[in-house]
Amino acid sequence: MTTPAFGRPLPVDSLLHRRDPTVKLIVVLVVCLAITAVVDPATPAALYLLAWPAAVLAGKIPVRTLLRAHVPFVAFALSLLMVNAATREGEVVARVLAVDVTAEGLLIGAGLAIRTLLIGVVSVTFVLTTDGARLMTSLHQHLRLSGRFAYAVLAGYRLLEQLPETWQTIRSAQAARDPRQRTRPDSRRGPSARPRALAHAAFALLVTSLRRGERMSIALETRGLGAGRRTIAAPSDLRWADGAVALVALGTTAAVLLVSWQLGLLRGLGALGVFG
Protein backbone atom coordinates (compact mmCIF):
# COMPACT_ATOMS: atom_id res chain seq x y z
CA MET A 1 0.00 0.00 0.00
CA THR A 2 1.39 3.39 -0.98
CA THR A 3 1.87 6.15 1.56
CA PRO A 4 -0.99 8.69 1.38
CA ALA A 5 -0.27 12.27 0.39
CA PHE A 6 -0.47 15.02 2.96
CA GLY A 7 -4.08 15.64 3.92
CA ARG A 8 -5.30 12.47 2.21
CA PRO A 9 -6.42 9.27 3.96
CA LEU A 10 -5.25 5.77 3.16
CA PRO A 11 -6.79 4.66 -0.16
CA VAL A 12 -9.12 2.09 1.39
CA ASP A 13 -12.77 1.94 2.37
CA SER A 14 -13.46 1.37 6.05
CA LEU A 15 -15.96 2.13 8.78
CA LEU A 16 -13.87 5.05 10.04
CA HIS A 17 -13.24 6.40 6.52
CA ARG A 18 -16.99 6.72 5.99
CA ARG A 19 -17.69 8.57 9.23
CA ASP A 20 -18.17 12.32 9.33
CA PRO A 21 -14.86 14.14 9.99
CA THR A 22 -16.36 16.62 12.45
CA VAL A 23 -17.72 13.79 14.60
CA LYS A 24 -14.36 12.02 14.54
CA LEU A 25 -12.53 15.23 15.40
CA ILE A 26 -14.78 15.88 18.40
CA VAL A 27 -14.30 12.31 19.62
CA VAL A 28 -10.51 12.58 19.29
CA LEU A 29 -10.43 15.89 21.17
CA VAL A 30 -12.66 14.61 23.98
CA VAL A 31 -10.65 11.40 24.41
CA CYS A 32 -7.32 13.23 24.36
CA LEU A 33 -8.50 15.89 26.81
CA ALA A 34 -9.89 13.23 29.16
CA ILE A 35 -6.72 11.15 29.14
CA THR A 36 -4.54 14.24 29.61
CA ALA A 37 -5.77 14.44 33.20
CA VAL A 38 -4.65 10.83 33.89
CA VAL A 39 -1.10 9.95 34.97
CA ASP A 40 -1.30 6.31 36.09
CA PRO A 41 -0.04 3.71 33.59
CA ALA A 42 -2.94 1.23 33.83
CA THR A 43 -5.74 3.46 32.52
CA PRO A 44 -4.04 4.69 29.33
CA ALA A 45 -2.59 1.21 28.76
CA ALA A 46 -6.10 -0.27 28.68
CA LEU A 47 -7.30 2.40 26.25
CA TYR A 48 -4.16 1.98 24.15
CA LEU A 49 -4.79 -1.76 23.78
CA LEU A 50 -8.37 -1.01 22.72
CA ALA A 51 -7.29 1.68 20.25
CA TRP A 52 -5.18 -0.76 18.21
CA PRO A 53 -8.08 -3.04 17.14
CA ALA A 54 -10.14 0.06 16.34
CA ALA A 55 -7.39 1.40 14.07
CA VAL A 56 -6.59 -1.92 12.39
CA LEU A 57 -10.11 -3.33 12.04
CA ALA A 58 -12.40 -0.30 11.87
CA GLY A 59 -9.88 1.90 10.04
CA LYS A 60 -8.14 -0.81 7.96
CA ILE A 61 -4.76 0.74 8.78
CA PRO A 62 -1.90 -1.73 8.23
CA VAL A 63 -0.02 -2.69 11.38
CA ARG A 64 3.28 -1.73 9.74
CA THR A 65 1.94 1.76 8.98
CA LEU A 66 0.86 2.22 12.58
CA LEU A 67 4.21 1.04 13.86
CA ARG A 68 6.09 3.49 11.63
CA ALA A 69 3.81 6.31 12.78
CA HIS A 70 4.71 5.44 16.38
CA VAL A 71 8.39 6.33 15.96
CA PRO A 72 8.20 10.04 16.99
CA PHE A 73 5.76 9.28 19.79
CA VAL A 74 7.96 6.48 21.14
CA ALA A 75 10.95 8.83 21.24
CA PHE A 76 9.00 11.43 23.20
CA ALA A 77 7.49 8.76 25.48
CA LEU A 78 10.93 7.38 26.34
CA SER A 79 12.18 10.87 27.19
CA LEU A 80 9.23 11.35 29.57
CA LEU A 81 9.91 8.00 31.21
CA MET A 82 13.63 8.65 31.71
CA VAL A 83 13.24 12.22 32.98
CA ASN A 84 10.58 11.31 35.53
CA ALA A 85 12.37 8.16 36.66
CA ALA A 86 15.56 10.12 37.33
CA THR A 87 14.16 13.33 38.83
CA ARG A 88 11.23 12.37 41.06
CA GLU A 89 11.70 11.64 44.72
CA GLY A 90 10.74 8.29 46.18
CA GLU A 91 12.06 4.86 46.95
CA VAL A 92 15.23 4.19 44.97
CA VAL A 93 14.89 0.95 43.01
CA ALA A 94 17.98 1.19 40.81
CA ARG A 95 21.06 3.29 40.16
CA VAL A 96 22.07 3.92 36.55
CA LEU A 97 25.24 5.91 35.78
CA ALA A 98 25.21 7.58 39.20
CA VAL A 99 21.52 8.52 38.79
CA ASP A 100 18.94 7.23 41.26
CA VAL A 101 15.85 5.73 39.67
CA THR A 102 12.79 5.90 41.93
CA ALA A 103 9.65 3.79 41.97
CA GLU A 104 7.41 6.88 41.99
CA GLY A 105 9.29 8.30 39.04
CA LEU A 106 8.96 5.08 37.08
CA LEU A 107 5.23 4.89 37.84
CA ILE A 108 4.46 8.44 36.76
CA GLY A 109 6.91 8.30 33.85
CA ALA A 110 5.30 5.10 32.57
CA GLY A 111 1.87 6.70 32.84
CA LEU A 112 2.94 9.77 30.88
CA ALA A 113 4.74 7.62 28.30
CA ILE A 114 1.78 5.32 27.66
CA ARG A 115 -0.52 8.34 27.57
CA THR A 116 1.67 9.80 24.82
CA LEU A 117 1.43 6.58 22.81
CA LEU A 118 -2.36 6.53 23.23
CA ILE A 119 -2.74 10.11 22.00
CA GLY A 120 -0.40 9.24 19.15
CA VAL A 121 -2.34 6.21 17.92
CA VAL A 122 -5.67 8.04 18.21
CA SER A 123 -4.33 11.04 16.29
CA VAL A 124 -2.70 8.91 13.59
CA THR A 125 -5.91 6.93 13.14
CA PHE A 126 -7.83 10.17 12.65
CA VAL A 127 -5.33 11.50 10.12
CA LEU A 128 -5.11 8.28 8.09
CA THR A 129 -8.91 7.89 7.87
CA THR A 130 -9.88 11.50 7.21
CA ASP A 131 -9.71 13.38 3.93
CA GLY A 132 -8.52 16.96 4.40
CA ALA A 133 -11.00 18.44 1.94
CA ARG A 134 -13.90 16.56 3.50
CA LEU A 135 -12.81 17.70 6.96
CA MET A 136 -12.87 21.36 5.97
CA THR A 137 -16.21 20.90 4.22
CA SER A 138 -17.69 19.20 7.27
CA LEU A 139 -16.41 21.89 9.65
CA HIS A 140 -17.80 24.57 7.36
CA GLN A 141 -21.12 22.78 7.11
CA HIS A 142 -21.71 21.61 10.69
CA LEU A 143 -19.68 24.00 12.87
CA ARG A 144 -20.14 27.07 10.67
CA LEU A 145 -16.43 27.47 10.08
CA SER A 146 -15.74 30.57 8.01
CA GLY A 147 -15.69 29.81 4.29
CA ARG A 148 -12.72 32.11 3.82
CA PHE A 149 -10.71 30.12 6.37
CA ALA A 150 -11.92 26.70 5.15
CA TYR A 151 -11.09 27.30 1.49
CA ALA A 152 -7.75 28.87 2.40
CA VAL A 153 -6.83 25.78 4.44
CA LEU A 154 -7.86 23.55 1.55
CA ALA A 155 -5.58 25.52 -0.75
CA GLY A 156 -2.77 25.04 1.77
CA TYR A 157 -3.45 21.30 1.84
CA ARG A 158 -3.12 21.09 -1.91
CA LEU A 159 0.08 23.11 -1.84
CA LEU A 160 1.63 20.84 0.77
CA GLU A 161 0.59 17.76 -1.19
CA GLN A 162 2.74 18.93 -4.08
CA LEU A 163 5.90 19.48 -2.02
CA PRO A 164 7.33 15.92 -2.26
CA GLU A 165 6.77 15.77 -6.02
CA THR A 166 8.22 19.25 -6.49
CA TRP A 167 11.28 18.33 -4.42
CA GLN A 168 11.84 15.22 -6.52
CA THR A 169 11.56 17.27 -9.73
CA ILE A 170 14.10 19.81 -8.48
CA ARG A 171 16.54 17.11 -7.42
CA SER A 172 16.15 15.32 -10.77
CA ALA A 173 16.89 18.60 -12.56
CA GLN A 174 20.01 19.02 -10.43
CA ALA A 175 21.14 15.52 -11.35
CA ALA A 176 20.57 16.23 -15.05
CA ARG A 177 22.73 19.36 -14.86
CA ASP A 178 25.46 17.70 -12.84
CA PRO A 179 28.65 17.43 -14.98
CA ARG A 180 29.49 14.12 -13.34
CA GLN A 181 26.28 12.61 -14.70
CA ARG A 182 27.02 13.83 -18.24
CA THR A 183 30.52 12.36 -18.20
CA ARG A 184 29.17 9.04 -16.91
CA PRO A 185 25.85 8.49 -18.71
CA ASP A 186 25.54 4.92 -17.48
CA SER A 187 26.01 5.90 -13.86
CA ARG A 188 23.16 5.18 -11.49
CA ARG A 189 24.20 7.85 -9.03
CA GLY A 190 21.46 10.22 -7.97
CA PRO A 191 21.66 13.98 -7.43
CA SER A 192 24.46 15.35 -5.31
CA ALA A 193 23.93 15.17 -1.56
CA ARG A 194 26.41 17.96 -0.82
CA PRO A 195 25.12 20.68 1.54
CA ARG A 196 25.43 23.30 -1.20
CA ALA A 197 23.26 21.28 -3.60
CA LEU A 198 20.67 20.59 -0.90
CA ALA A 199 20.58 24.28 0.03
CA HIS A 200 20.02 25.25 -3.60
CA ALA A 201 17.22 22.68 -3.89
CA ALA A 202 15.58 23.92 -0.69
CA PHE A 203 15.71 27.51 -1.91
CA ALA A 204 14.19 26.51 -5.25
CA LEU A 205 11.43 24.63 -3.41
CA LEU A 206 10.72 27.70 -1.26
CA VAL A 207 10.51 30.04 -4.25
CA THR A 208 8.31 27.63 -6.20
CA SER A 209 5.95 27.20 -3.24
CA LEU A 210 5.69 30.95 -2.70
CA ARG A 211 4.82 31.50 -6.34
CA ARG A 212 2.21 28.74 -6.26
CA GLY A 213 0.74 30.19 -3.08
CA GLU A 214 0.52 33.62 -4.69
CA ARG A 215 -1.24 32.17 -7.74
CA MET A 216 -3.66 30.29 -5.47
CA SER A 217 -4.52 33.42 -3.50
CA ILE A 218 -5.17 35.37 -6.71
CA ALA A 219 -7.37 32.54 -8.00
CA LEU A 220 -9.38 32.44 -4.76
CA GLU A 221 -9.90 36.18 -4.76
CA THR A 222 -10.88 36.11 -8.43
CA ARG A 223 -13.55 33.53 -7.65
CA GLY A 224 -14.99 35.71 -4.91
CA LEU A 225 -13.74 33.87 -1.83
CA GLY A 226 -15.57 35.26 1.19
CA ALA A 227 -17.87 37.44 -0.92
CA GLY A 228 -20.99 35.71 0.35
CA ARG A 229 -22.69 32.43 1.08
CA ARG A 230 -21.48 29.59 -1.15
CA THR A 231 -22.90 26.20 -1.98
CA ILE A 232 -21.19 22.92 -1.07
CA ALA A 233 -20.38 20.60 -3.93
CA ALA A 234 -19.99 17.43 -1.82
CA PRO A 235 -21.76 17.91 1.54
CA SER A 236 -20.89 15.64 4.44
CA ASP A 237 -24.24 14.59 5.88
CA LEU A 238 -24.53 13.26 9.40
CA ARG A 239 -25.81 9.70 9.73
CA TRP A 240 -26.91 7.50 12.58
CA ALA A 241 -23.68 5.50 12.21
CA ASP A 242 -21.68 8.63 13.07
CA GLY A 243 -23.49 8.92 16.38
CA ALA A 244 -23.10 5.19 17.02
CA VAL A 245 -19.32 5.33 16.51
CA ALA A 246 -19.03 8.41 18.74
CA LEU A 247 -21.15 6.74 21.42
CA VAL A 248 -19.05 3.57 21.36
CA ALA A 249 -15.75 5.47 21.50
CA LEU A 250 -16.76 7.87 24.26
CA GLY A 251 -18.65 5.19 26.17
CA THR A 252 -15.63 2.88 26.11
CA THR A 253 -13.38 5.67 27.35
CA ALA A 254 -15.79 6.51 30.17
CA ALA A 255 -16.14 2.84 31.11
CA VAL A 256 -12.36 2.34 31.32
CA LEU A 257 -12.00 5.47 33.48
CA LEU A 258 -14.81 4.30 35.75
CA VAL A 259 -13.41 0.79 36.17
CA SER A 260 -9.94 2.19 36.84
CA TRP A 261 -11.39 4.49 39.49
CA GLN A 262 -13.36 1.67 41.11
CA LEU A 263 -10.22 -0.47 41.27
CA GLY A 264 -8.25 2.38 42.86
CA LEU A 265 -5.83 2.63 39.94
CA LEU A 266 -6.88 5.99 38.56
CA ARG A 267 -4.50 8.85 39.37
CA GLY A 268 -5.01 12.45 38.29
CA LEU A 269 -2.77 15.46 37.78
CA GLY A 270 -2.49 15.88 41.55
CA ALA A 271 0.02 13.04 41.56
CA LEU A 272 2.44 15.25 39.65
CA GLY A 273 2.64 17.63 42.58
CA VAL A 274 1.98 20.70 40.45
CA PHE A 275 -1.29 21.61 42.15
CA GLY A 276 -0.12 21.49 45.71
Q: What is the pLDDT along the chain (276 residues), one digit of tens a residue?
A: 555 555 567 888 899 999 999 999 999 999 999 998 888 889 999 999 999 999 999 999 999 989 998 888 999 999 988 888 888 777 777 777 777 778 888 888 888 999 999 999 999 999 899 888 788 888 888 887 777 777 777 777 777 777 888 888 888 888 887 766 555 555 556 677 788 888 888 898 888 888 888 887 777 677 666 556 666 667 777 889 999 999 999 999 999 999 999 998 888 766 555 544
52 contacts 66 by C-beta, under 8 angstroms: yes
Q: Are residues 188 and 111 located together in one domain of the fold? A: no
Q: Are residues 75 and 212 located together in one domain of the fold? A: no
Domain hosting 84: range is 15-130+239-272
pTM: 0.76
Q: Are residues 124 and 243 located together in one domain of the fold? A: yes
Q: Are residues 73 and 125 located together in one domain of the fold? A: yes
Which of 143, 125, 23, 17 has the alpha carbon at shortest distance from 66?
A: 125
Q: Are residues 180 and 84 located together in one domain of the fold? A: no
How many domains would you assign to the chain?
Answer: 2
Q: Are residues 73 and 117 located together in one domain of the fold? A: yes
| Position 32 in a domain | yes
Q: Are residues 35 and 94 located together in one domain of the fold? A: yes
Q: Are residues 35 and 117 located together in one domain of the fold? A: yes
| Position 9 in a domain | no
| Position 48 in a domain | yes
Q: Are residues 80 and 200 located together in one domain of the fold? A: no
| Position 141 in a domain | no
The region, left, alpha or beta by phi > 0 then psi within -120 to 50, assigned to residue 226 is left
| Position 20 in a domain | yes
pLDDT at 51: 94
| Position 230 in a domain | no
Q: Are residues 38 and 123 located together in one domain of the fold? A: yes
Q: Are residues 35 and 85 located together in one domain of the fold? A: yes
Strand partners, 96: 99
